[in-house]
Amino acid sequence: MRVLYFFPWLLLFVGCHYLPFSSGKLSGQDEKYPDYWEAIIERQIIQLETNPSEPYSVNLWIVNIENKPYVYAGDNYAAWVKNIESDPRVVLKSGNSLYKLRAQRVLNADFFKRFAVVWEEKYGNRPRNENYSETYLFQLSRREER
């Protein structure tokens, strides 16, 4: 009987690659900053690596607004959000491609309304907390190497 109890949990963890489990450094093929993001981030889930000195990566949902990628933590002050506050350098992985980027928090009420519409179009639901000042929305942009 215990097997029947654990079986659904096993399926949940094995079958859900989109859960926000963390890992370390991402591997893949380094790519140049793309002219167009649409095909790259059409996937439901991408991976984002933060904290270059001690890489920390998570699976995230992503949207494209005006040919720019945006990732969202909601009002969850997650480890990856804290890492970005300390060092905005990130790596986005889509498929086997890696893109070295810079993350910048977006704190604009009008833009957040637009983001919420795009989020709902892609994922079928609006963000749970729509108070832009309480949430963590990041635009990913070209990173100049130091």
Q: Write out pLDDT tens, residues 88-131.
A: 999 999 999 999 999 999 999 999 999 999 999 999 999 999 99
* The amino acid at 33: Y
Average pLDDT, the chain: 87
Which tokens sit at 65? Answer: 């607004």
Give the pLDDT mean for 67-85.
95
Q: Which residue has the higher pLDDT, 98 or 145?
A: 98
Neighbours of 120 (CB within 10 A): 13
**Given this model, what pLDDT does residue 21 score?**
52
Q: Answer yes or no: is pLDDT of 22 > 90.
A: no
How many Å apart are CA 133 and CA 129, to the nearest integer?
10
Residue 93 CA to residue 100 CA, distance in Å, equals 9
SS3 118: helix
Q: What kind of fold does domain 22-142 have according to CATH?
A: Pnp Oxidase; Chain A (2.30.110)
CB atoms within 10 A of CB 40: 18
Residues 116 and 130: their CA atoms lie apart, in Å, by 8
- Going by C-alpha positions, the residue among 87, 79, 85, 60 that lies closest to residue 71 is 60
Q: Residue 20 has what pLDDT?
A: 45
pLDDT of residue 12 exceeding 70, the answer is no
More confident position, 62 or 9: 62
